[in-house]
Amino acid sequence: MGEMDREFGWEDEIEKDSNFVELPAGDYDFVIDHYERARSQGSEKIPASNMAVVFFNVTGANGEVATIRENFILHSKMEWKLSELFCGVGLKKKGEKLKMNWNALPGLKGRAQITLDADKKDDSKKYNHIKKIYPYPEKEFKAGEF
């Protein structure tokens, strides 16, 4: 919420433009802002299921920040994507079992491959998506260093 959120009168002055940021496709660092609990309506492939909508703040080359929302459906067919998310922020190691802790996600960092895709309904609009979340880099231990 802004400092003074309020309803406008019909003839009020307006000034603020959209702060929508579009990033060129590529690899970027991200910080998870927050997540929301939701339900997916289901499709031919996956029945209606719990779904986490995760908001990623992605910083571009010029310091601009794009917020990308990505859906994570809590269903066994999408388990790989859930694992990719938790591995990407360092909460899960490959091959390990993990109890998903969604509340631990906000503030965690990672790196992802971002695409810029045309909207399915309107080709003139393009949106960033997270195509792949890279595994969190393991800390390398060197003798004599902490």
Q: What is the pLDDT of residues 75-124, one digit of tens each?
A: 999 999 999 999 999 999 989 999 999 999 999 999 999 999 988 888 88
Q: How far is CA 30 from CA 13, 89, 99, 103, 134, in A?
A: 35, 10, 23, 17, 11
Supply the mean pLDDT for the chain: 89
E strand or H helix at 133, and its extent? Answer: strand 126-133
| Token representation of residue 7 | 């309803």
**Exposure on the CB side of residue 21, measured as CA atoms within 13 A:** 16
Place of tokens 């595994």: 135
Q: Find the range with the poorest average confidence among 13-22, 90-99, 107-116, 134-143.
A: 13-22
Q: Which residue in 134, 132, 136, 131 sits closest to 92, CA to CA?
A: 136
d(CA 122, CA 61): 27
What is the 8-class DSSP label of residue 12?
-
Q: What percent of the chain has pLDDT over 90?
A: 67
d(CA 86, CA 102): 9
d(CA 145, CA 48): 50
For residues 54-66, average pLDDT:
93
